[in-house]
Each structure stands twice: as structure tokens, then as C-alpha cells.
Amino acid sequence: MKNLIDIYSRKKKDIAAIEKALEESVYTDHAMLRETSNHLLKAGGKRIRPVFVLLSGEFGHYRLETMKCVAVPLELIHMASLVHDDVIDDANTRRGQLTVRSKWDNRIAMFTGDYIFAKALGVITQIHKPAVHQIMSKAIVEMSIGEMEQIRFFFHSEQTIRDYLLRIRRKTALLIAISCKLGAMAADAPDWICNKLYSFGYNIGMTFQIRDDILDLIGTEKQIGKPPGSDVKQGNITLPVLYALQDPSLKPLILAELERIHKLDGQTDVSGFLDMIRNSDGIEKAEALSRKYLDKAIASLDKLPGGQAKKDLIEVAHFIGNRSY
């Protein structure tokens, strides 16, 4: 399977231009805000959302300057949400780097996130299409609800798989979905193409988050850039755990572990819990659902015009569905 560098190679110059635009967009004379924002940028990331904007824009009248005005704010929104997530999660590392809250403190992290959100809103005003702004603002509202729902369900072992799927739809899938749709809209692609790309992005977003949750349970710290089991330590019960809880012989053991972790406020070794989930069929079932979303995503592209952009979207989709980091 190709890695992201191979997949992105055709868009190398445009991605570099977006990276430069990201740096320019967060620049400020305020020394601390400049330092915290640059710390986030230098931590990198897969830049999945900007790449989806660029590739989707190829289904219309592609202009890099226009694409930047969509790709940059969407990535900034994603970055801001990560800073806020790290505060909620008491996370010390992300992608193997110290988080803003860890290097500075929670207050600095929260204001850095707020600042980056505000910068995103400033950049998107260069797109003179009210529908673009409405779609983006609605997605931010939904993301906020998703985060609140995640907190509400911390250590809630009776939540359903539907609860989980609705939560990750809001937290992750919507932002990827609108990255695809807004990229096409900004390039004046026909509505039916924009809607097909939205469907693609939504299903890939679901795959992305399920894969993320699987890796938190089976990955190594080197692979995922944070200690495995971080989710359960904060009380986030993810899809593989919900599936494992369906096993009557395992359920009381898992519930006992969850109660123990909760009582110790996550400040404990969770290797026993991880072994339990890894040895259940929870991982396998979660992977099967992830593959279903991946298949739906690729099927969404069937009627779109052929060409390199479509091929690249399929390549990125397969990478996301099979990644180990």
C-alpha cells in the first residue's frame, strides 16, 4: 500500500502553499500566541482535510488561491479542536510531541484554541458564498455537541453503538465530509458532485475515527504518538469495547476493570484491560464496520467523472482504512 507521501506527491506544491498559508494565518505580534500556535503547526499531522479540499476542487474550476481559502480554515478548526480536546483529556502528548496544555498550561491552551478558531473564521470570509459559511458554522456547532456528548458518556457502559456512531459523526466525520463538499463548492462543481463528495467524506470520516479508536487499543506508543489505552483512561468507551461488552462471559470482567479505572481517575495501569479487549472479538467487529464505511465511501465515487483526482481519493481512502498510525 502506498504511504501518504506517495499519494500526496502530485499535490506537493499546492500542499506546501497551504502549509505556508497556515503559518501566515496564525501569525501574530503576540509572542506567546505566536509560540503556541507555531508549536501546534510544527507538530504536523496528516493534513487529510486540506488534501480532500484540493482533490475535491479538481471536480470543478480549480484555483489554488480559492482552495487555500477553504483548506486553511478547515485545518485551523481541526487544530483548534485538538487543543481543546487535549485539555479535556489531560493529554500530555500528541503525535509524539508535548501538547500545548502540557508545555504551557490549560488556560493558555484554551485561549490558543479560541485564537485559532477566530483566525479560521477570518480566512473563510474570502469565500463570498453564504452557503459555505452556513455549512461550516453548522459543522462547528455539531462538533461542539459531539464533544459534550463524549463527556456525558464517559464511563457510561450502557451506551449503545448508535450513541457511539452519532458521537463520532459529529466529532470527526462531519469536518471531513464538509472538507470534500466545500472544496467542490468553492470550485463551482455541480451540486450533485458536491453531494457525492460529501457522502464520500462522511463515510471516510467514520472509517477514520473507528480506525483511530482501534489503534488506541492495539497500537504502540511509537505508532500512535501517545500511550495506548488513553481513551479508556479518560472514560471514553469506544466501539471495540462496546462490541466486547456484548460477550456475556467478558462483560462482568470488563465492567469491573472500567469501574477500577474510573475510581482511580485513569491514573493506573490499563494493560490488563487492553489485553482483555484485544483477546475479544471487539477489534474484529470494529474493523468489519470500518471496512463497511470504507466500501460505502468508495461506492460514493462511482458516478463521478474519472481522472487522477478520483484515483487519488480512492488511494487516500484505502490508506485511512488500513493505516497503523
Q: Answer for the pair 171, 85: CB distance below 8 angstroms, yes or no.
A: no
What's the rounded Cα separation, in Å, for the pair 107 and 214? 31
Residue 193: closest CA among 201, 184, 202: 184
Per-residue pLDDT of the chain (325 residues; tens, 9 = 90+): 456 677 788 888 999 999 999 989 888 889 888 888 888 878 767 889 999 999 999 999 999 999 999 999 999 999 888 888 777 777 777 766 777 888 888 888 888 888 888 999 999 999 999 999 999 999 999 998 998 899 899 999 999 999 999 999 999 999 999 999 999 999 999 999 999 999 999 999 999 999 999 999 998 888 887 889 999 999 999 999 999 999 999 999 999 999 999 999 989 999 999 999 999 999 999 999 999 999 999 999 999 998 899 999 999 999 999 887 7
Per-residue pLDDT tens digits for 254-283: 999 999 999 999 899 999 999 999 999 999
| SS3 per-residue string spanning 50-101 | HHHHHHHHCCCCCCHHHHHHHHHHHHHHHHHHHHHHHHHHCCCEECCEECHH
Q: What's the Cα-to-Cα distance from 125 to each of 82, 121, 190, rounded to whole Å?
A: 23, 7, 22
Domains observed in the chain: 4-322 (1.10.600.10)
**pLDDT in the model for residue 141:** 92
Q: Find the largest Cα–Cα distance for the chain.
A: 60
pTM of the predicted model, to two decimals? 0.91
Number of other residues whose CB lies within 10 A of the CB of residue 187: 22
Q: What is the dihedral of CA 198, 202, 207, 212, to 10 degrees?
A: 110
